[in-house]
Chains A and B, each alone.
Chain A
């Protein structure tokens, strides 16, 4: 007589209080919160139930939460991808009529957290006005990007261990990549344009130092694992390459960058090794796969990656083949969207021994089927760039100072060799 016949809210399926609130808090709440970068909040039952069918559709299509890496690569820290079980729970919940269930302990609502005060805060002195709409591409380049240069005024070299980016228009600003430039090139370029920032794409230098990763939607800060730092030469300027998506109204961008430093003498500098194809040429309606390989000259502890490519690229991956012939995928992005990219840090550093061959591979689809192709109407897509028309940056550190010097020399030679006509 005591069969499990309960109210609809006690049915076996997922309920808001049973499963859904926790899933939403874990995977959506960091952006969909008051004053967050997402267009609406998803904190309360009413917020989620009022958009339930839309939410179900975008998680089922894996559009949300935005997360590019597939499962084939190395484990990545702060993985935001939604597990299949959670997607099914959301689908079942919506189909069951969004039962609220029995209230228990509420999952913590996500709020912006304040950590330790930064060692250096850089902020734009005046805003740049982002246009309301995107325009036609010109010169085979994507628009909707702006680079800002902020002096660091550092008389000494700095060891950056973490950074955090803040935008005045967080819904509009998607991917941001960072460089530290001591050559003056970025400043020179900036001074050539009126108003804050300039149209440039981060090619201020091609040495392996200087890159400081990038942040994206859902991840506005980046902290290196203990024992690693980005090296910043004296009198550098922070270069922020901002990819934005116009929101339908003009908005002020007055961006800021917080930096944290270490003075640990044992900390190792993170270098950036570039897998790249310098020039690409793809006919209209053509799909093409391009490759690049190089071989590490010393042992490298890799900590992460930064993909860099336009929307013509629909997928990419990075592989490693060990000297003994074993191989595995380091990073796999099966469905690439430039607006959702960021730097990806590994759950733990991985040692790649000297002699490991690194292979990068990219698929370019200059077709209308590629909905992210920014270059419509179609024509032959030809572009070149010193640091790669398509690229995946591999971040890692050599074991000691001597091997670090060797790594830097090798990479400089590699980049120089790539500039020569083939």
Chain B
């Protein structure tokens, strides 16, 4: 299921994860054009939730990473994993937190399941490889603002997602490809 769902999700992603400030849903896109990538293309997804304080605390970092990814020619999307998040809620949240990246609603957890996301916030970095396939290069924590659930530092000192994005663009391997994310659990739909 995973590969199929991943392909489907990325097809839908092609519709949703391109235009600034746009809110779209995985299940309602009419654009089924196969996501065509060029070797080296980078897509960054952040699973978030408008009412998760751990995710919201990182909103300024999301925006910085979005700009950084865009500057390097990649795509960056915020994916709302809670099924009760509507387009209006997502827009209000983006306005309140000054988020300008494309936003995808994932009410049926197509992306959550395809990418095995478990909490919000959780980052995934995908790279289009030479064989025409999307490969997961990094998944997990964005930075070390939270040392554990309930234990938050004043400020982050390690910026793992930023490092993973840079390494992915540069064609290298991320030193630690998975860092167990810390955040609000995603209540799985199935």
Binding site for B on A (CB under 8 A): 39-40, 50-54, 57-58, 61, 63, 132-137, 142-144, 171, 245-249, 337, 339, 371-372, 374, 376-377
Contact = CB atoms under 8 A, between A and B. Distances in A.
Interface string B170-190: 000000000000001101000
Contacts of A142: 154
B89 interface: no
Contacts of A61: 149-150
A263 to B, nearest CB: 43
A374 B184 CA distance: 22
Given A134-B154, A377-B157, 6 more contacts: A40-B51, A63-B150, A132-B60, A249-B96, A249-B98, A339-B152
A248 B185 contact: no
Contact of B187 (A40, A53, A171, A247): A53
A6 to B, nearest CB: 27
B97 interface: yes
Given A50-B84, A248-B56, A249-B98, A57 B154 contact: no
A137 B154 contact: yes
Which 4 A-B pairs have CB atoms at the shortest separation, nearest pair first?
A371-B147, A371-B151, A248-B59, A54-B185
A76 to B, nearest CB: 21
Nearest to B144: A376
Contacts of A50: 82, 84, 187
B153 to A, nearest CB: 7
Nearest to A373: B153
Nearest to B146: A371
A51 B185 contact: yes
Contacts of A371: 147-148, 151, 153
Contact of A248 (B60, B149, B154): B60
A372 B149 CA distance: 11
B154 A53 contact: no
Interface in B128-159: 147-155, 157
Identify whether the interface residues of A are mostly helix, strand, loop, or mixed.
loop
Given A134-B155, A246-B57, A248-B57, A39 B51 contact: yes
Interface in B51-100: 51-53, 56-60, 82, 84, 96-98
A236 to B, nearest CB: 32
A329 B55 CA distance: 39
Contacts of A40: 51
A135 B53 contact: no
Nearest to A49: B187
A251 B146 CA distance: 21
Contacts of A249: 56, 59, 96-98
A57 B185 contact: yes
Interface string B12-56: 000000000000000000000000000000000000000111001
Contacts of A52: 187
15 contacts: A40-B51, A54-B185, A54-B187, A135-B154, A136-B155, A142-B154, A246-B57, A248-B56, A248-B57, A248-B58, A248-B59, A248-B97, A249-B56, A376-B157, A377-B157
A143 B154 contact: yes
Nearest to A372: B151
A40 B52 CA distance: 8
B22 to A, nearest CB: 21
A108 to B, nearest CB: 24
Contacts of B56: 39, 247-249
Contact of A245 (B59, B96, B152): B152
Contacts of A133: 57, 60, 155
